[in-house]
Structure 1
Amino acid sequence: MDSNITSLSILILEDHPFQRMVAEQTVSGLNVNSLHTARSSAQALQFLQNKGAVDIVICGLNMPGMDGIQFIRHLAEKKLARGVVVLSAMAASLVRTVEDMAQAHGLMVLGHMSKPISRTRLRELLEFYCSEQARSRTCPISSRDLIFDEKELGKAIEANQFVLYYQPKVLLKSGQMISVEALTRWHHPELGVLSPVHFIPMMETSGLIATMTTKMIDLALDQIRIWREQERNLAVGINVSPAILTNTHLPDMLIQKMRDMNIPPELLNLEITESSLIQNASLSLETLARLKLHGFSLSIDDFGTGYSSMQQLNRIPFSELKIDRSFVSNACNDKNHKAIVEANISLAHKLNMQTVAEGVETLEGWQLLNELNCDQAQGYFIARPMPANEIPQWEQQWLARQPITPPKPCIRDMN
């Protein structure tokens, strides 16, 4: 049993006595550290307010008195749990709406289950929670509410405290690594390694994002040069803020830098988040068109999370479509998510674009994407973001796991 799972604290909210007993026995079988039950939303809230927050709440939706939807809102507003699992056999469309609502309130939604609880499925969700918590431990828990001002961030940029971690992207058919995504981390002298959620928003509002992006591109180009000296032509994808796309000098700057370093432009993949396109259409489209003209790869990131996806595909010459993890991570358990992933792959291929699935967390998810003919994958099943010098050891271990040939099918009953 995973020691991380055994250390969890869980509360089960279920009004039906028999279903509550079954759920309690199922969770107990995983030997979690602290397990509590409640027969009503009011009882659950009272307990949590008296005893303190838990890691995960497993709750139904259709209950007398305060229903599960209202309960989840109170749970989030009072910060009485970190994660939630929805326990319901109701229509999938309703469950998805509740899950989206919970996420909007700041809760970590692990997924949903029908009654009675499947121990195998529950273990998967708890392991996912533990992996996400491990990821967040790269920065202290107390830093969740940290706010840095423009002066602090500017000094950190000048002191070269921002570095790049690299997450491998591999071919689904062979497992071969062909590129990486460069992800910014702040090596804070006192707080340790901080993720972008703690500094990117302020950088964008303060105007520092352009300076930061330029520095990160320089670091990425240095790493590409090092790999080329080692006779490896690994492409690097790097996130580009829409703010920098209005700089029409960007293509000339990148072209000159890459010529000076003798790096082919196709080895730099500029990833543009679909949900934030585009600030100034005329200038941004000029920049993107010139980048494409000169051989750079353009990737539309988090595809499907914005409100104008089709328009962006039509007006911008993307070469790669990245399917957002919110669809990928649950595609094996949700027929709607599976349909969205499948449609995105088909659309991208018809437009002569490569497809990359983000957030691949399980062997089951890997197999499904392979069956759906997705081209590439990245996620914790493959590798976490890491410093460049750790990639060779990871690659050796990863290739030793090939070929990946799990049994079929991976799709369970999703009704």
Structure 2
Amino acid sequence: MKIAGGDSSLLRRLNSVAVLRVLYEAPSLTLTELVRSTAVTRATVENALTGLVGQGWVEEVAPPADGRRQVGRPARRYRFRTEAGCVLGLDIGMHKVLAMVTDLKGTALAVRQTAVSPALSPADRIAAARALGHRALRGAGLKASDLRAVGIGATGIVDAEGRVRLSSLLPEWTGTDLPGAFAEAFGTEVVAGNDTKLAALGEHWRGAATGVRDVLYVHAGRHISAGALIDGRVHAGRNGASAEIGNLPAARWHTAPTHPRDWLGEGRGDAADLFTAVRAGDPGALAVLERYADDLVQGLAAMVLALDPELVVIGGGVSLAGDLLLDPLRDRLDGLCLFPVDVVASELGDRSVATGAVRLALDALERRLFEVPGGA
């Protein structure tokens, strides 16, 4: 849904956008507050509100039914309708797909997840993601026609148009046009980016990096990857390949995951069992985590030296070790870098990518909501 305005003047469009933008940022505002905030006349604001209410973006808020009597007519109050649609964030990885449906301010309405095999063909992986997205919509009591935008975080190097330029983990995934693969299925605008970069965005928006402008996010799991925000914005690079330092053998991000795999391969269970053994002081488990930290810090230190971030966020399965991993990382970074940097665990866990994808979708929606013909 777009704000109607094809037969109205540019000035009316500008006024509608001004009113809508102010309401979008506030829980609710009175008519007087809107006039003050937009710096236009009361009649202009009233006209804009009439159109926005008619289009379903705004509604008048009823006075509180608390029994209190007011002197005179109560102030007319309006709010942006966060329920005027929804957005969908998809995390499409090697081993799982996660779908998150939110309202138009990012409040989660439904989350669904399913396991997938690395051996899936691109067509089957896309089909699994589509099905899960529709399942999440049903879980929220919504349907595809309620969608205003879809955001996708996917493994691989993803360019500005949402095409997977290169995927070393899933070679057949290379060349996948993500917007093209999902636009028809969901009937709305689709935007896409690399999963780790969107995880950084998610942590900045709703997680461990809230309020921090320069952030390095590192996914430490079966594989290691990184994404960076500079001045609060995802830094993708010319080809979408920024922060791909793991491609350098000297970074040792290829070898780090082999240490827990070798330990688990001896029939000891899963990653949780490794962390339990570390907490219990098991010498073999402690040595595994030390070797992992030794390898991880090589590429991490290079990234910190290159970017000089305010904060490093560690996500992925190994981050569940908490300070068992973070403390040795901090010690090693202090010895390799020029200045100390805070290192913290992800607050969003396995929802970080989908949260970033939701933020990407909301950004796309906001551009449409607030666009003015001619770029005025």
Normalised to the residue count of structure 2, the TM-score between the two structures is 0.27
**Greater RCO between the two (CA within 8 Å, min separation 6)?**
2
Larger Rg: 2
Normalised to the residue count of structure 1, the TM-score between the two structures is 0.25
